[in-house]
Amino acid sequence: MFFPAFDEWDQELPTGVRLHGRSGGSGPPVVLLHGHPRAHTTWYRVAPLLVEHGFTVVCPDLRGYGRSGKPAPDGGHTAYSDRTMAGDVTALMDRLGHGQFAVVGHDRGQGVAHRCALDHPQRVRALAVLDGVPMAEAVERTDATFATQWWHWFFFAGSPHAERVINADPVAWYGLDDSARSAMGEENFAYVAAALQEAETVRGMLEDYRAGLSVDAANDRADRERGHRVTCPTLVAWSVHDDLEQLYGDPSEIWRGWVDGAIQTARIDSGHHMAEENPEQLASVLAAFLASTAS
C-alpha cells in the first residue's frame, strides 16, 4: 500500500507558504526531506517502516516541489534558500504539534536538514544527512571532474535558458520512461511526473540550485567563520553505487569539520535514490540511529 495509515494534508504556514505532505505513526517525531527532482513520495517505502519502529514520521514536499507552494523568486534567491526552507520545516512541525524532532535530508533536502540543525538547535535533537556535503564544501572543492559529472548544477544555476529547455520536454529531461516508473513505483512516479510537468515546479527547483551556489554557500561560510557548528548527534550516510566516495572519499571526514556532536556513518547498498532502491537497509539504519538519540 502507498503510505498506509498516513494522513495527507496541506498546511498553510506563517512563513507564507503552503506545504503538502503526509504524516503518520506515534512516538518520537522525525521529518524526512526529499531531494531533486523528487517529492515527499520518494519516502513511501521508508516511512511506514519507521512507523513500525515506533516513530512519528512527517514527509513534506519542500517549497517549489511536488504540490507545495511555489512562491515567486527574489533577486537574492532567498525565497528558496536552505535557511528559508528550514524555517518552513520548523513552522510545519509547530503546526503539527512537535516541539523537538529529528530531521533527515537526502540530496537537496540534506542542505535544508543541515540548516535546520544550525539555525534551530533547540528544536533539532538529531540530524541525518544522506548523499551530500555542506554546500560551501561542495563549492570550494569543485574541480573539472565535479563540474563535468555534476554539470547540471551550473546549468540550473547559471543558464538563462534552463527553464525553457526543461519545460520543452520535461518527460525526456527527467527520464520519465517505463524504467523509471518501475524503479520508482507507480504512485510515486505519477506524483513526481505530474509535478515536473508544471512550469512553476521547474522554476522553484532551479531557484533551489541558484540559492545553493549563492546564498546557501555564503551562509555556510559565515557559520564556519564564526565557529557555529551542529551540536546534535549526526548520521552521515551515502549510496555506495553513487559517486560521493569517488568525489570525496569518506564524506563523514568532511562533516567532522561542521559537527561538534557525535557522528555515526553508514554506507547504503544502492544508487543515488536510496529510499526507493534499498528502503529496507535505509530504514534499518535510520531507525537504529534515531533510537540511539531518542532518550
Q: Which residues are catalytic?
A: 107, 272
Can you say how many angstroms the Cα of residue 146 is from the centroid of all Cα atoms in its chain? 20
Q: CA 130 to CA 17: how far, in whole Å?
A: 25
Phi then psi for residue 179, to 5 deg, are -65, -45
Beta strands in 47-96 (DSSP E): 56-60
SS3 content of the chain, % helix, strand, coil (to 5): 50, 15, 35
Contact status, residue 11 vs residue 90, Cβ threshold 8 Å: no
Q: How many CA atoms lie within 13 A of 44 on its CB side?
A: 19
Element (H, E) at 212: none
**In 3-state terms, what secondary structure has residue 278?**
coil
Contact status, residue 91 vs residue 116, Cβ threshold 8 Å: no
Grid cell 527574489 is found at 74
Q: CA 167 to CA 154: how far, in whole Å?
A: 17
The phi-psi region of residue 38 (left if phi > 0; otherwise alpha if psi is between -120 and 50; otherwise beta) is beta
Grid cell 534499498 is found at 278
Contact status, residue 126 vs residue 264, Cβ threshold 8 Å: no
